Amino acid sequence: MKIRYRAMAVSAAAIATIGTLGAVSVVGADYVDESTTVTEITQSVDYKTSDADTLRLYRAFLAREPDIDGSKYWIAQTRAGATLDDLAYGFAQSDEFKAEYGTLTNDEFLTLIYDNMLGRVADQDGFDYWLGEMDKGLAQFGVVRWVVANDEFVANYPYAPTAPDSPGDTKNCSDFTTQAAAQAWFDHYFDLFGDIAKLDQDNNQVACESLS
């Protein structure tokens, strides 16, 4: 496996902020940015596979479940164009990461990474591989960034989409700015709850034609 890591510029806000997003007014939890729990995030209309990568990266760097404000903040950063490398760099600058790993030798770091990320003792082949990469210059946080993509870690922390609760008839077509947004909402809930908000009066599976 070839390891590539490119240090990239990260906004000052991304570096400084872990979980300090201000209060957000909540009008239900259809969307990631309205969610009040990480579970609600995974139930959201706009939750994507790449968001699971973001949550896994957060889980890996802080060795704990992501908190809601930090999760929303970092997902928003990726939607604004930040890459996983940017996020990894940002997490590595956090006081929380530095407190956990900041003073360790590479040997100690790898031992703790295996315990924190994979919940087990390192296998010798894996340990030697990563130590070799670090000897060649891979930064400690670069190891974390790549272990996140490892099948074992993904299986442990899938952050898969979860079935949403019924939203009830809480939406009208006038609540959406585009037909695509209405359709995404409609499709998200349809299999479980049918046309719960009555967005498809003519029953042709196309929501809110009036917006097109």
Closer to Ca ion by Cβ: residue 84 or 206: 206
- Angle separating helix axes 124-135 and 140-147, nearest 10 degrees: 140
Q: Quick one: DSSP state of residue 170?
A: -
- Which helix or strand (DSSP H or E) is residue 53 part of? helix 49-62
Q: DSSP string spanning 3-46?
A: ---------HHHHH-SS-PPP---S-SSSGGG-SSHHHHHT-TT
Whether 138 contacts 5, CB under 8 Å: yes
d(CA 184, CA 207): 9
Q: Which of residues 116-175 bind Ca ion (CB under 5 A)?
A: 169, 172
Joined tokens for residue 144: 């974390």
Using CB under 5 A as the criterion, what x/- string covers residues 169-208 for binding Ca ion?
A: x--x------------------------xx-x-x-x-x--
Whether 206 contacts 195, CB under 8 Å: no
Closer to Ca ion by Cβ: residue 122 or 206: 206
- Minimum CB separation of residue 198 from Ca ion in Å reads 4
Whether 16 contacts 95, CB under 8 Å: no
Joined tokens for residue 208: 């809110």
- Minimum CB separation of residue 167 from Ca ion in Å reads 10
Closer to Ca ion by Cβ: residue 34 or 133: 34
Closer to Ca ion by Cβ: residue 49 or 204: 204
Closer to Ca ion by Cβ: residue 18 or 197: 197
- Minimum CB separation of residue 199 from Ca ion in Å reads 6
Using CB under 5 A as the criterion, what x/- string covers residues 8-47 for binding Ca ion?
A: ----------------------------------------
- Minimum CB separation of residue 194 from Ca ion in Å reads 13
Binding site for Ca ion (CB under 5 A): 169, 172, 197-198, 200, 202, 204, 206
